[in-house]
Structure 1
């Protein structure tokens, strides 16, 4: 699959409604007042040359595909070699997390992102475990910039409008978020966001990079998480400037698996 920007081939959606768990760590509590402003632009979009749809054209496994795409991109930048996920790994995770069976279409009901994150941390997706995740404040653009700049991406859920189906860049329609432009008039979708500029963010969906405006993000994003790859488990790895990683480790240890 090409990783060029443009209108993606329309695939399936599959993000279940957002779930709230009071035990979920909040990203804001680990951002120190000394945290420098996020860069005006940041891109982690140059290393991966071929994205795959990972079953998300035929099935509603966008939550699992997004997790695998983040793992792929982290490995492309941090090595030692690029992890290249496949459709089987995505569908196996969809089965384990959400009870999906390819032989039973009634089980293709999508996945809750929080449930997937817990599974990703404890059991692993595609053989990879994350170290931690923390919820970003809804609509907080600075949180998303920080998550992308510090940790190589953000894991977000979108309540997509019907108008997004034919847009080369996802944007709020001129008439506003009503009618065909209303949130969730198409359905819920999960994507990894791996770059941004002052005007746009860049996600991976259905096998390629796709852009959205910041206004689209603020209007249609209904959940977002900063996710730390498994490489952050190394206690010798220094904290990012302005982020209290040691406190996060302590808080994680206090949460039952």
Structure 2
């Protein structure tokens, strides 16, 4: 599964530091022993041929761009037609979430992923809403495999090291996560993971498919979420054995606003 157009490209970063909210549902709570192991490889990368920057070449709206890229991928697989997000939809969501204003660099401060998830569920991003989300353990390989396998994508936050700049494949540098390899020495970034192999994960960022090694993921991921799209999970596909969507819905409804 070699990513198309994988030449190095750098845009803006904009993931705010991870925030913990005790009300956030935990992905592991809804996994049961009956859940079969995720396959060793999964590919949801084939149907979208034109990923857009969505403003993330100029502004720190990676959190919003990642959400829209997930909607684009889900729609490409579940139809009836592919949703094609625009820069305006990404920047409108960035403004609604953070007060960002084009032309005022002081307002380009990035977005908290948890804030974006709650906004995505209630108000929608690009006219699309999701019905639930649950937090995975950061860097948990089985969680991200299961999330991508069952729900088409994993919404992850990375503390990117300076050493990732220009890498065709994001990897931990030979000297380890110190110096230019130190977590967050470049900054926080949000991407959707939409595929994986035994050796790497494939995410979407800055209008391209970007591979990263599993070691990179474990070293630099500081938050990850399973996001449940009504478009994806409410199709004719049966609920996955070993994952209790109905219980997640009930628990979500019980959370105070």
What TM-score comes out, normalization by structure 2 length? 0.96
Conservation of the 8 A alpha-carbon contact between 1:170 and 1:212: yes
Conservation of the 8 A alpha-carbon contact between 2:151 and 2:232: no
Encode CA deviations 1:56-105: one digit per residue, 9 max, x unaligned. Answer: 00000000000000000000000010000000000000000111000211
Report the secondary structure of 2:165's partner residue: helix
Cα deviation for residue 242 of structure 1 reads 1.1
Which stretch of the first structure deviates more once superposed, 172-181 or 130-139? 130-139
1:39 match: 39
Cα deviation for residue 238 of structure 1 reads 2.8
RMSD: 1.3
- State the alpha-carbon separation in 1 of the partners of residues 130 and 256 from structure 2: 16
- State the alpha-carbon separation in 2 of the partners of residues 196 and 145 from structure 1: 8
- State the alpha-carbon separation in 2 of the partners of residues 253 and 8 from structure 1: 43
Cα distance, 1:8–1:205 mapped onto 2, change above 3 Å = farther
Conservation of the 8 A alpha-carbon contact between 2:15 and 2:63: yes
Cα deviation for residue 232 of structure 1 reads 5.6
Can you give the 5+ residue segments of structure 2 that lack an aligned partner in the other structure? Answer: none
- State the alpha-carbon separation in 1 of the partners of residues 236 and 47 from structure 2: 26
Cα distance, 1:40–1:236 mapped onto 2, change above 3 Å = closer
The residue correspondences of 1:108-123 to structure 2 (distance < 5 A) are: 108-123=108-123
1:245 match: 245
**Residue 171 in structure 1 maps to residue 171 in structure 2:** yes
Report the secondary structure of 1:223's partner residue: strand
Cα distance, 1:199–1:78 mapped onto 2, change above 3 Å = same
Can you give the 5+ residue segments of structure 1 that lack an aligned partner in the other structure? Answer: none
2:140 match: 140
Which stretch of the first structure deviates more once superposed, 234-243 or 32-41? 234-243
- State the alpha-carbon separation in 1 of the partners of residues 231 and 210 from structure 2: 27
Moved segments of 4+, more than 3 Å: 232-237
Conservation of the 8 A alpha-carbon contact between 2:65 and 2:90: yes
Report the secondary structure of 2:13's partner residue: coil
1:97 match: 97
Paired positions, count: 255
